[in-house]
């Protein structure tokens, strides 16, 4: 079965600090995604990647950077964390099938920015 | 309905009842995904319906798609307590080239009571 893992699972950060969220997938999928999920909202796409070395802006990229150093790893970086970035973050890897990308999600990272 | 400015929807039913969740989308898509998210976990794909399919079944699940009205529905027959979850629809804004990106609706909270 598809396997996407995230670390850390929980994180408390201070305003202005740097936060790095990591994601690893063993599916050998080319595509990887970072989403955030807030109460009352669906998942909103922050950054995504089509392969090692590539990153693309999603729908809400402001305040976030991404890094894809290898096929397996995709990181989300908050250079200067703010309380508004308190959320649950999900990573996903994608199987680019016909007519859409079936995505396999990790368990999520709960981030609290104080 | 999950899309646009609607807030997160909530449905509460008794075990054994049938339930239907609706989703309307704004942009052209060739496929509608339905994901299920259990508490504390990442979403998981449960059924996918393409634009050339009006109906798709998988076990107790039935998805429909009406491209003319840009709407989709997910029905669960004889709901069970373990169907309690949040259900999301998602579309791929496919313009001919598979982007792999998905846009998620706000979701429907389904609670099935014994």
Q: How many beta-carbon contacts under 8 Å exist across A and B?
A: 75
User: 């950054």: which residue's tokens?
Assistant: A47
pLDDT for position A100 = 57
Q: Which residue has the higher pLDDT, A19 or B2?
A: A19
Q: What distance in Å separates residue B22's CA from the closest CA in chain A?
A: 15
| pLDDT value of residue A17 | 97
Q: Are B90 and B33 contacting, i.e. CB atoms less than 8 angstroms apart?
A: yes
B3 φ/ψ angles, rounded to the nearest 5 degrees? -90, -175
The rounded distance, in Å, linking the Cα atoms of A8 and A26 is 17
Instruction: Give residue B4's pLDDT.
Output: 40
Specify the residue for token string 């964390």. Answer: A81
Structure tokens belonging to residue B35 = 């994901």
Task: Judge: A44–B104 Cβ closer than 8 Å, yes or no.
Answer: yes
Residue with tokens 């169907």: B83
Q: With contacts defined as CB-CB under 8 Å, which chain B residues touch A104?
A: 44-45
Nearest to A90 among B42, B48, B100 (CB): B42
CB atoms inside a 10 Å sphere around CB A83: 11
**B97 Cβ neighbours under 8 A, 6+ residues apart:** none
Using only C-alpha atoms, chain A has a radius of gyration, in whole angstroms, of: 13
Distance CA B32, CA A86 (A): 29
Nearest to A111 by CA among A50, A21, A28, A16: A21
Residue B46 sits at the chain A interface (C-beta within 8 Å): no
Q: What is the pLDDT of residues A25-80, one digit of tens each?
A: 998 888 999 999 998 778 999 999 989 999 999 989 999 999 999 999 999 999 99
Chain A residues touching chain B at CB-CB below 8 Å: 4, 31, 33, 35, 39-45, 48, 50, 58-59, 90, 92, 94, 96, 98-108
Nearest residue, CB atoms, A99 vs list B7, B88, B92 = B92
The pLDDT score that the predictor gives to residue B6 is: 44
Give the C-alpha separation, B96 to A57, whole Å.
20
| Sequential DSSP letters for B43-96 | -EEEEEEETT-SEEEETTEEEEEETTTTEEEEEESS--GGG-EEEEEEE---SS
Q: Do B104 and A43 touch (CB under 8 A)?
A: yes
Backbone angles phi, psi at A85, to 5 degrees: -90, 5
Q: What is the pLDDT of residue A55?
A: 95
Residue pair B74/B23 in contact (Cβ under 8 Å)? The answer is: yes
Closest CB to A42 among B40, B44, B107: B107
Task: Copy the structure tokens of residue A89.
Answer: 């973050």
The answer to whether the Cβ–Cβ distance between B92 and A107 falls below 8 Å is: no
**Per-residue tens of pLDDT for chain B, all 114 residues:** 444 434 468 999 999 999 999 998 887 778 899 999 999 999 999 999 988 898 999 999 999 999 899 899 999 999 999 999 999 999 876 555 556 778 888 899 999 999
């Amino acid at each position: 079965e598809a396997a996407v893992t995230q670390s850390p699972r929980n994180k408390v950060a201070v305003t202005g600090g740097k936060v790095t969220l990591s994601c690893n997938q063993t599916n050998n999928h080319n595509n990887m995604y970072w989403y955030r999920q807030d109460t009352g909202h669906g998942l909103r796409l922050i950054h995504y990647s089509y392969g090692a070395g590539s990153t693309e802006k999603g729908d809400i990229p402001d305040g976030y950077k991404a890094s894809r150093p290898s096929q397996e790893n995709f990181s989300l970086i908050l250079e200067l964390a703010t309380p508004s970035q308190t959320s649950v973050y999900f990573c996903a890897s994608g199987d680019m099938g016909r007519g859409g990308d079936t995505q396999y999600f990790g368990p999520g990272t709960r981030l609290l920015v104080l | 309905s999950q899309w646009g400015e609607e807030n997160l929807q909530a449905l509460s039913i008794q075990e054994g009842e049938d339930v239907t969740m609706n989703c309307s989308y704004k942009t052209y898509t060739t496929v509608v995904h339905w994901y299920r998210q259990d508490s504390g976990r990442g979403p998981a794909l449960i059924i996918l319906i393409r634009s050339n399919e009006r109906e798709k079944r998988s076990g107790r699940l039935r998805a429909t798609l009406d491209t003319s009205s840009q709407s989709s529905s997910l029905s669960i027959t004889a709901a069970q307590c373990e169907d309690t979850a949040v259900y999301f629809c998602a579309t791929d804004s496919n313009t001919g080239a598979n982007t792999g990106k998905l846009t998620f609706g706000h979701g429907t909270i389904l609670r099935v009571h014994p």
